Amino acid sequence: MRLVVIGLGQCGSRIADEFARMGKRATSRRRIQIITGVYAVNTDQVDLTGLKTIKPDFHHRIIIGGRRTSGHGVGKINELGAAIARSDKDKVVDAIRTGSRFYETDAFLLTAGAAGGTGSGALPIICDTLKERYPDKPVYTLIVLPFAHEESSEERCVYNTATCLKSAYSVADAVFLADNQRYLKKDANLLNNMEKINQQIVRPFLDLLCAGEEVRRRHVGARTVDAGDIMQTLEGWTIIGFGKSDLSFIRLPFQRTRSFKKKSRETLRGIEAMGQALSELSAFCSPSDAGKALYLLSAPAREMNVDQVKELGEIMKEIAQDAVIRSGDYPRNKAEVSVTVILSQLRDVPRVREIYKKVTESATSIKQRQKEAEQKLREMAKASEGIPTLL
């Protein structure tokens, strides 16, 4: 599957930068083209300057709202971010369609942090615009949920997140959710933490996108997961997970048979990777709430067997009883067994429900505090009526 990736705001642009890095790695190591274009869109010029991989020209790093923000961002006011995106949306679309590989694209992926201003405001607007201009290509969004400390200390972050999620869900074909809190490592410094989180958010997409674009016959699986399988799976709230099990031994070239112990270990490695993928989903959910699911097994060809595939299929059927399940295998020469899992068409996502509830409950108290603040300002103005001014 081939994607055009568009990062919106600071968080979204950095994740798009990681997708650009992943695309280069797939091209150089696997000779596979999975990313047909990567763009970063922001109202803050400094944030765009800090990117590493996205091309530095104005076609790929796009500043919007220059007249209204002077290149200094929107200060977490996502209504302003949405208004700027609405007025500059043609600038973004024109940059995207000039890409040399644009018409090879299967789908769009828009990424943004839900708590910010530019990303959370612009994402639904750009998503709606792309769906209108290119109705034959699905538009997916990858939305990053805020850290717990942001949610507890900044009401504006919660409000931005709720409005972004509701707006994106109404227009996007699928909404991938990534919860920052699930990736956080408390013993790492801030910059390293952010880079590692972005890498972990993007990593599950690598094998998934490469499997259907493979150019070498020996790497084509018995059951290939291609763009059609992915498009039929992705719908509504979506969560992705990735797990791996390192191979602990090297099979010698003259070994022609496998003992029952080695075959058992192969099956267990697949189960271990599946367990890790399910325990490290990008956001918490109950798999039983999924209407659609997909899993991809990737390993050296000799490390995959029918029993392994059967066990993984049974695990998915047990945890997602009502889901339409698609699966595939991807034989790659590497020293690990990995499993990518997608749970889509989710009927309930507790994290999203909690955010909606918080905003609804806090709306009354916010209005009350605003009234009290206005009353105090009027009292201050009244107290100063008898004092002369120097102006």
pLDDT of residue 179: 93
Residues of the chain with pLDDT under 50: 250, 252, 254
Which residues are registered as beta bridge partners of 6? 39, 110
- Could you report the per-residue pLDDT of 53-93, keeping only the tens digit for each? 999 999 999 999 888 888 788 888 899 999 999 999 999 99
pLDDT of residue 263: 54
CATH number of 3-202: 3.40.50.1440
**245 contacts: CB under 8 Å, gap ≥ 6:** 269, 270, 272, 273, 276, 336, 337, 338
**pTM value?**
0.90
The full set of domain ranges for the chain reads: 3-202, 240-344
Q: Which amino acid is at 381?
A: A
The answer to whether residues 67 and 35 touch, using CB atoms and an 8 Å cutoff, is no
pLDDT of residue 34: 95
Strand bridging mode 61-63 / 35-42: parallel
Closest-CA residue to 120 (of 178, 164, 76): 164
Strand bridging mode 292-299 / 336-344: antiparallel
- Could you report the per-residue pLDDT of 184-235, keeping only the tens digit for each? 765 555 566 788 899 999 999 999 999 999 888 888 988 889 999 999 999 9
Domains 3-202 and 240-344 share a fold: no
Q: Select the CATH number that applies to the domain covering 240-344 from these four: 3.30.1330.20, 3.30.479.30, 3.40.50.720, 3.40.50.2300.
A: 3.30.1330.20
Strand bridging mode 324-331 / 174-179: unpaired
10 Å CB burial of residue 86 (0-12, 13-18, 19+) is middle
- Concatenating the DSSP letter of every residue in 163-183 gives HHHHHHHHH-SEEEEEEHHHH
Report d(CA 235, CA 239) in Å as an integer: 11
Dihedral in degrees, nearest 10, Cα atoms 31, 35, 36, 39: -140
pLDDT of residue 261: 53
Which residue carries 């899992």 as its tokens?
341
What would the two tokens of residue 203 be?
């990593």
